[in-house]
Amino acid sequence: MKPSIPLLLFLLAFSVLSLLPLLPLVLLSSKSTPHSPPRSPSPHRLRVFVADLPRSFNYGLLDRFWSLSGPDSRIGVDLDARLRSTLANSTEKDAFPPYPESPLLKQHSAEYWLLGDLETPEASRAASFAERVYESDDADVVFVPFFSSLSAQMELGWGRKGRFRKRERNEDYGRQREVVDRIKSSEAWRRSGGRDHVFVMADPVAMWHVRSEIAAAIFLVLDFDGRCRFDSKASNGSSSHVIMQHAEVSSLKDVIVPYTHLLPRLHLSQDQRRRTLLYFRGAKHRHRGGLIREKLWELLADEPDVIMEEGSPDATGLEQSTGGMRRSDFCLHPAGDTPASCRLFDAIVSLCIPVIVSDSIELPFEGTLDYSDFSVFVSARDALRAGWLVNHLRGVYEEQKDRLRRNMARVQPMFEYDNGDGNGGGIGPVPSDGAVNHIWKKVHEKLPMIREALIREKRTTTTTPEGAAALWRQCQCSI
């Protein structure tokens, strides 16, 4: 029996009414893709807004460096003379100049590679853990693009002798002052009190005069101890030190970054037989925590299969360090003016097993990697016992040394800043497992703490902004 016409009309009407709730979804999906709103930033990457600073505080500072005449007053030699001449004779001005090769400057170049990653065209940034955003409201953190290490080193090497600690006629201080004034007057700083701002201080003397004013921010530093302790005369005439207050740095808010290594990387397949037990090259005399170095020198200088030599940071010194590290099983790393040094990372890229003599040292990317997998840690007390250290190292079997070197070879990429792109300027795709990405990831780990602090402050009605910032710093350093 065929259904009647009224029944067919009823079924058709019922079907149309059933589809009406789906109509908005159909209309939304039919919109053309080009006019759709942009995708939200990936929650798995660090969203970074670059603060608005004039070029004179970053790449313009490099332009100024390359226009300097005369050598670095600390070593009396211009290690960048050839490149300086090439750039001076160039008819085209590079928007992204190269970073100096002088070891005194290059070892502190983290700032250059981090900004270079953010300045790289988006199409070449797929491997970066940082996603650049162009509104501060969309950002997890605000990156301050100031080459503070280069600024400090230029003042130390080419400024007025003995003026670094003073503010008058100190160009580095002038730059620090202007950067801080600009950043602290921004809406982004006022909104967060600076807690989500990132300052790169990959030099113990970077931002030396103004750090207390920005202590709420995230600092990217080389270590938490010994930063910027300069000899000065106390009122009674005795020697004292100007010390960064503990409230300015904290393992909870700040990130330890590696020095930029100076020696070329040695791959495991290139490694050859090593005939020296222990190697050290550097300054014998240091201050404060570095006094242990002099004592170790006295104990080890006459030991067979141990090389202890003084050297300067020039081309000859780098060549000698390369050979010495590649011919030695172990490389000694006693504390100097600071617990860490570039020497550690040169040893890693040279596959020379680090012997770290320090009772207090913070190392980059701990938590991601375990340095004891490729290093030997020794307490200062044991190291200073006559004969103990060399006997301990001679007791390490070849199989153990091979294992430590294999582990070291696996982590070498983590300490590479250079993107190897060859285009210069620090611009180009970053290595996915390189230093830049690992720094961004460590900053990303700080985000929950930053958000928690901001939420807490919103409900604090009895504390002034200045007082809240002081409480914030105190809390970080009391743990």
115 contacts 128 by C-beta, under 8 angstroms = no
Confidence of residue 203 (pLDDT cuts 50, 70, 90): very high
Mean pLDDT of 205-226: 90
* pLDDT of residue 473 exceeding 60: no
Predicted pLDDT of residue 250: 84
Predicted pLDDT of residue 261: 96
* pLDDT of residue 107 exceeding 90: yes
Pairing of strands 141-143, 218-221: unpaired
Predicted pLDDT of residue 39: 40
Q: CB under 8 Å to 455, separation ≥6 — which residues?
A: none
Predicted pLDDT of residue 166: 73
**Model pLDDT for residues 371-400, shown as the tens digit of each residue:** 999 999 999 999 999 999 999 999 999 999
* pLDDT of residue 63 exceeding 60: yes
Mean pLDDT of 348-355: 98
Mean pLDDT of 226-237: 40
Mean pLDDT of 96-117: 95
Q: CB under 8 Å to 361, separation ≥6 — which residues?
A: 223, 225, 335, 339, 340
Write the DSSP symbol of residue 165.
Answer: T
Q: Provide the mean pLDDT of the chain.
A: 83
Mean pLDDT of 349-361: 92
**Model pLDDT for residues 171-192, shown as the tens digit of each residue:** 999 999 999 999 999 999 999 9
Confidence of residue 474 (pLDDT cuts 50, 70, 90): very low
Q: What is the pTM of this model?
A: 0.84
Predicted pLDDT of residue 338: 65
**Model pLDDT for residues 274-307, shown as the tens digit of each residue:** 999 999 998 887 655 557 888 999 999 999 999 9
Predicted pLDDT of residue 28: 36
Cα distance between residue 178 and residue 141, in whole Å: 21
Q: CB under 8 Å to 427, separation ≥6 — which residues?
A: 96, 116, 119, 120, 419, 421
* pLDDT of residue 3 exceeding 60: no
CA distances, 319 to each of 281, 368, 371 (Å): 11, 32, 26
Mean pLDDT of 365-372: 94
CA atoms within 13 A on the CB side of 438: 22
Burial of 4 (0-12, 13-18, 19+ CB in 10 A): exposed
Mean pLDDT of 89-95: 81
255 contacts 314 by C-beta, under 8 angstroms = no
* pLDDT of residue 449 exceeding 70: yes
Is the pLDDT higher at 197 or at 465? 197
- Paired with 354 in beta bridges are 331
Cα distance between residue 169 and residue 280, in whole Å: 39
Burial of 269 (0-12, 13-18, 19+ CB in 10 A): exposed
Q: DSSP for 196-263? A: TEEEEE-STTTTTTTGGGGTTSEEEES-SSSTT-EEEE-TTS-EEEE---GGG--TTT-EE-PPPP-S
Least confident of 91-95, 352-356, 475-479: 475-479
Predicted pLDDT of residue 140: 97
Q: What are the residue ranges of helices labelled H in 282-314?
A: 291-300
* pLDDT of residue 319 exceeding 50: yes
Is the pLDDT higher at 243 or at 53? 53
Is the pLDDT higher at 108 or at 8? 108
* Amino acid letter, residue 129: F
Percentage of the chain exceeding pLDDT 70: 78
Cα distance between residue 414 and residue 420, in whole Å: 14
Candidate ranges 90-94, 306-310, 332-336; pick with highest mean pLDDT: 306-310
What's the token pair of residue 372?
Answer: 């004891």
**What long-range pairs does 353-360 form, CB within 8 A, spacing at least 24?**
353/329, 353/401, 353/404, 353/405, 353/408, 354/330, 355/278, 355/330, 355/331, 355/389, 355/393, 357/292, 357/296, 357/332, 357/333, 357/383, 358/289, 358/333, 358/334, 360/225, 360/289
Domains of the chain: 46-256 (no CATH), 268-414 (3.40.50.2000)
What's the token pair of residue 32?
Answer: 């053309």
Mean pLDDT of 74-87: 86
Angle formed by the axes of helices 315-326 and 342-349, nearest 10° = 50
Mean pLDDT of 224-249: 47
* pLDDT of residue 125 exceeding 60: yes
Least confident of 156-165, 359-368, 396-405: 156-165
Predicted pLDDT of residue 70: 80
Predicted pLDDT of residue 234: 35
Confidence of residue 248 (pLDDT cuts 50, 70, 90): confident
CA distances, 230 to each of 1, 106, 174, 175, 463 (Å): 104, 22, 20, 20, 35
Predicted pLDDT of residue 286: 64
Predicted pLDDT of residue 220: 98
